[in-house]
Amino acid sequence: MYSSATVTGGTTKKPTAGRWGIVIAALLLQFSIGAVYAWSVFSSALQSPDAMGLTNPEASLPFTVTIGMIFIGSYIGGRIQDKKGPRPVALAGGTIYAFGCILASFALSHDNTQLWLLILGYGVISGFGLGLAYIVPIAMLQKWFPDKRGLITGLAVAGFGFGAVLTAPIAQWLIAMTPTEPNRAFLPLGIGYLVLALIGAAFFHNPPAGYAVPGWVPASTGRAHDSYKQFTEKEALRTPQWYFLAGILTLNVTVGIALVAQANSSAIDIAGYSIGGAAALVGVLALFNGGGRVFWAWVSGKTGRMTTFGLMLGLQGICLLVIPHASNAVLFFVLAAIVYLCFGGGFGTMPATAGDFFGVKHAGAIYGLMIIGWSLGGIIGSPIIAALIGADKDYTLGYTVMGIIALTSLIVPIITKMPRPKADALKPTAAYSTAEASKVVN
């Protein structure tokens, strides 16, 4: 798989298959775990009196727990990956995620007595596995593509955003086969997730020792610190910038996930979509979730990271204020698509931002810990919107509150600046070698 190639400092091995093959493998894994964003299809089905008959807050619980568990999995996965390499972490994460979904398929009671099993399987177990697997390709691909950090982190998480594109209509089709027991759909879905995850993760590995991108020299000034200091996890946590970035991610998730968690029922109740049409809409919106991760990551490389986050929060705020009044199906779709685009964009832009601020040598641990913002946003946003909408389906109150939160949040990216290491802390090098960040090749 490798051929000898001479680089600065000696002879090393250069992958002959090309680094883009690793990207394809990463997308397979992310596609499988990204199916979590099709939850609103299950949420609507579980609220049917013929199924579990759950209330809106009850139906949002499994999804909320899933998002809450992501941080635990990503933090542990990031630390293990930095020491043991990406493949074992990705294989374990994909397997655990699929197992949790399969376990959730056994919650078949026609009331809420087995809601705990759904929360345990889909929420706790799948959420942990999701976090464990999610962080791996982000940290790994930044080492393979130090020259394309914004683009590649967008691609690294795009598969996650696209995961619901096929899952939503397939899940709706499976649910329609047994509408009184919608959780049965998790069994075939879980098996499918397992296959995709194992195939993708099997190809994961860090760059070989001495790997360098031909002709690329990291900048010594500007955003990136590749040629200067590579922050450790503890050093990053001592800077206010780490907390600002985690706060931005939290706020972007909080407002975006409010619509993601309620998209299916909102489309039906506000814009008059049919049940099948709403499920298809959720799948199409997932395209914008995935596409936003690449689009905004690219934009951030042109306009600046903080300007980009300001644009995403501002657009979401305006759209969320208008959505409860969007009775026209086309207008509802446009507004929802913008929210999904910006929601996904936060995940595509933040890894590159963290890499700019703190370097990529310890990206697994630093960004893995920062994903607490994703979990906090899910824990805050999903239950709040469910409670505000309530049994009376007051979408105006729910989305207005979220819109105001988004617009108020603009202050955070405005005050966030690049950390400036002290002169005696700088460690200039000719070029950052991913050999420092890669202790294992396979």
CB 256 within 8 A of CB 340: yes
Query: How would you label 209-220 residue by residue, b for 16+ Cβ within 10 Å and e otherwise?
Result: bbbbbeeeebee
Cα 419–309–387 angle (5° rounding)? Answer: 120
Q: CA-to-CA distance for 430 and 403, rounded, in angstroms?
A: 47
Q: CA-to-CA distance for 284 and 276, rounded, in angstroms?
A: 12
Ramachandran assignment for 18, one of left (phi > 0), alpha (psi -120 to 50 degrees), beta (any other): left
Q: What was the pLDDT predicted at 250?
A: 96
Q: CA-to-CA distance for 350 and 371, rounded, in angstroms?
A: 10
Q: What was the pLDDT predicted at 441?
A: 31
Q: CA-to-CA distance for 224 and 292, rounded, in angstroms?
A: 23
Q: In this structure, what token pair is assigned to residue 223?
A: 């955003």
Q: CA-to-CA distance for 258 and 253, rounded, in angstroms?
A: 8
Whose tokens are 């130090």? That residue is: 146
Q: CA-to-CA distance for 395 and 330, rounded, in angstroms?
A: 18
CATH of 18-206+218-425, one of 3.40.50.300, 3.40.50.880, 3.40.630.10, 1.20.1250.20: 1.20.1250.20
pTM for this prediction: 0.73
Q: CA-to-CA distance for 378 and 255, rounded, in angstroms?
A: 9
Q: What was the pLDDT predicted at 217?
A: 64
- How many other CB atoms sit within 10 Å of the CB of residue 391? 8
Q: CA-to-CA distance for 319 and 313, rounded, in angstroms?
A: 10
CB 137 within 8 A of CB 8: no
Q: What was the pLDDT predicted at 421?
A: 58
Q: What was the pLDDT predicted at 79?
A: 80
Q: What was the pLDDT predicted at 423?
A: 44
Intervals of the chain under pLDDT 50: 1-17, 220-227, 423-442
Q: Which residue, 420, 140, 366, 362, is CA-closest to 246?
A: 366
- Rounded to a whole number of angstroms, the distance between the first and last alpha carbons of the chain is 12
Q: Residue ranges per domain, the chain?
A: 18-206+218-425
Q: What was the pLDDT predicted at 218?
A: 60
Q: CA-to-CA distance for 311 and 308, rounded, in angstroms?
A: 5
Q: CA-to-CA distance for 384 and 361, rounded, in angstroms?
A: 37
Q: In this structure, what token pair is assigned to residue 346?
A: 């936060």
Q: What is the 3-state secondary structure (H, E, C) of the chain?
A: CEEEEEECCEEEEEECCCCHHHHHHHHHHHHHHHHHHHHHHHHHHHCCCCCCCCCHHHHHHHHHHHHHHHHHHHHHHHHHHHHHCHHHHHHHHHHHHHHHHHHHCCCCCCCHHHHHHHHHHHHHHHHHHHHHHHHHHHHHHHHHCCCCHHHHHHHHHHHHHHHHHHHHHHHHHHHHHCCCCHHHHHHHHHHHHHHHHHHHHCCCCCCCCCCCCCCCCCCCCCCCCCCCCCCCHHHHHCCHHHHHHHHHHHHHHHHHHHHHHHHHHHHHHHHCCCHHHHHHHHHHHHHHHHHHHHHHHHHHHHHCHHHHHHHHHHHHHHHHHHHHHCCCHHHHHHHHHHHHHHHHHHHHHHHHHHHHHHCCCCHHHHHHHHCHHHHHHHHHHHHHHHHHHCCCCCHHHHHHHHHHHHHHCCHHHHHCCCCCCCHHHCCCCCCCCCCCCCCCCC
Q: CA-to-CA distance for 355 and 97, rounded, in angstroms?
A: 27
Q: CA-to-CA distance for 442 and 428, rounded, in angstroms?
A: 29
Q: CA-to-CA distance for 25 and 248, rounded, in angstroms?
A: 29
Q: CA-to-CA distance for 193 and 311, rounded, in angstroms?
A: 34
